[in-house]
Structure 1
């Protein structure tokens, strides 16, 4: 298993396959996608070599991210390529749910067994205002379909936004009462281009934790190898709550993931200063040893923690640029 100087282990890779997104979320891409949709994103062959190298170093979980992964027409092939890589046990994906009702069965058949869907509000008008898309009904239908067809793990992500969705906790709790969903509330993070928005809408995760405890939710012990989410359960609910609080004390001590961008840069931290390109070593199968050596070498530069507390988001211009 890959380990850094702090003794943290890394079984988990977040792999972006595109930075294109078809939503216009107010906290990420309020003006819509401004990049080049024909950019040279990693090919299926490059992804195969990349995942094989990480699997050989002990990684067993790959999360496909974007942008929005479903904008790539070869997504089923990418899923199947990852799922059939020796050593990979879980293939997950984070999506805005745009194409979920139409394609989730196809993705499952290709090898997808875990899913995160972004739902920042259960109120259709508020959802539209936050995402720029009037598609809440389709997204919720897609989540139900994912549950019906037996996707092993279904999680829902909601970014906490002061004065926008911070009064919807009861609605979310009622929604997961009869659904085996892990609902993750994510504290809004500052990025390179959202400072004014961050100052206007940042809400500390402790605000939600206090409300949960008042409602009888109990914090669960952290499992070995678990990520940074604090998890809560309630006897009357099939669903669970996870809280991701990047501004909390010691948040980075539980870091267990690395990131690779859609153009092949290894990012040691979501809010790191830069990335090291791996792409030159993704062109031939014979480069595997050199590729693994570069990954191990770069891990030696991973910092103890991020610098968000200092108002420094590193090189992350917006979350779609490196998979969130």
Structure 2
């Protein structure tokens, strides 16, 4: 299968001061998809401009024509399935059925405390995600849903006419633990990884490849348990969080080598960050665009 190349455009620019231009350029460069983070703020960008994901994607949907759009990723940290479903159905309609929902359990960053609560433990996050995702699945596929859950409920939630994409827009589920992988196997049309965060600081690229190989194997086992072929799921790698850091974007050859090693593992889509000066995602724009236009052909 031909490797797909996508980008993620962080929402750090005013729409009419460079924001719109980046989404248009991403489509011109031929990216399969352009995603954005669904956070209220994020790490080193916390004290600077940061705009909302779904309004940004809605604007991108009206500005572009072909490229897929999505979150990478949404989480329950500040979302509720009922309100999120309504917004996603609207976005899917506006985009003409070009939306993918990247979704995961969330983490302990700024989003976890901004609403004035203590951050959830890993088990609490897994418990909530285990309710959130199945309910969201129902909300996007059924006209009316009523459910009483431990963490999330819906009372005759209406979502007519549903998604343009049938039976609903695709889920790309970010997961590495056993419970998350089971959710990806059952509800996902794609699976997302950033690698193994435990080896980000001191690990090697070779160790990272083996870690991702292990994740894909565990995903395969989770699929087998429910009688699903793991080949049905796209495998998406969001780059920038492996020990390689930004090195794959230093040259076309470096990226082709990096992408080829992950393509051999079964990764079907690689996502690279749109360059942002003076950040962890700084990169040469000309090299970035060369990768966008030439790397897939080099990889065959």
> Do 2:26 and 2:34's aligned partners in 1 also have CA atoms closer than 8 Å?
no
> Do 1:56 and 1:87's aligned partners in 2 also have CA atoms closer than 8 Å?
no
SS at match of 2:30: coil
Paired residue for 1:187? 195
Report whether the alignment pairs 1:56 with 2:28: yes
Aligned counterpart in structure 1 of residue 129 of structure 2, from 136, 141, 146:
136
| 1:140-181: CA deviation from partner (whole Å, max 9, x where unpaired) | 3335434554342112111x3xxxx4xx36x843x5665454
Paired residue for 2:110? none
Distance in 1 (CA, whole Å) between partners of 2:181 and 2:211 is 18
Q: 1:120 to 1:152 in 2, by over 3 A?
A: same
Paired residue for 1:83? 61
Where does structure 2 lack aligned partners over 5 or more consecutive residues?
A: 108-118, 143-161, 204-208, 245-256, 264-268, 296-300
> Do 1:184 and 1:244's aligned partners in 2 also have CA atoms closer than 8 Å?
yes
Report whether the alignment pairs 1:104 with 2:85: yes
Return the offset for 1:207: 3.6
Aligned counterpart in structure 2 of residue 252 of structure 1, from 259, 272, 284:
259
Distance in 1 (CA, whole Å) between partners of 2:60 and 2:181 is 33
Q: 1:147 to 1:58 in 2, by over 3 A?
A: same
SS at match of 1:51: helix
SS at match of 1:77: helix
SS at match of 2:9: strand
> Do 2:10 and 2:37's aligned partners in 1 also have CA atoms closer than 8 Å?
yes
1:17-32 → structure 2 map (5 Å cutoff): 17=11
| 1:294-322: CA deviation from partner (whole Å, max 9, x where unpaired) | x44554589xx9xxxxxxxxxxxxxxxxx
Aligned counterpart in structure 2 of residue 47 of structure 1, from 6, 19, 22:
19
> Do 1:48 and 1:82's aligned partners in 2 also have CA atoms closer than 8 Å?
yes
> Do 1:12 and 1:61's aligned partners in 2 also have CA atoms closer than 8 Å?
yes
1:1-324 → structure 2 map (5 Å cutoff): 12-17=6-11, 41-45=12-16, 46-65=18-37, 67=39, 74-94=52-72, 95-97=74-76, 98-101=78-81, 102-110=83-91, 111=94, 113-119=99-105, 128-130=120-122, 135-136=128-129, 139-140=132-133, 141-148=135-142, 149-150=162-163, 151-158=168-175, 160=176, 165=177, 168=178, 172-173=181-182, 175=183, 179=187, 181-184=189-192, 187-189=195-197, 204-210=211-217, 217=224, 236-237=227-228, 240=232, 251-253=258-260, 254=263, 256-260=270-274, 264-265=276-277, 274-276=282-284, 295-296=285-286, 298-300=288-290
Paired residue for 2:116? none
Q: Indicate the structure whose relative CO is greater, using CA pairs within 8 Å and at least 6 residues apart.
A: 1
Q: 1:186 to 1:62 in 2, by over 3 A?
A: closer
Return the offset for 1:188: 0.9
Q: 1:57 to 1:103 in 2, by over 3 A?
A: same
In terms of fraction of residues, the more helix-rich structure is 2
Backbone CA RMSD of aligned residues: 5.0
Where does structure 1 lack aligned partners over 5 or more consecutive residues?
A: 1-7, 18-40, 122-126, 197-201, 218-233, 277-294, 306-324
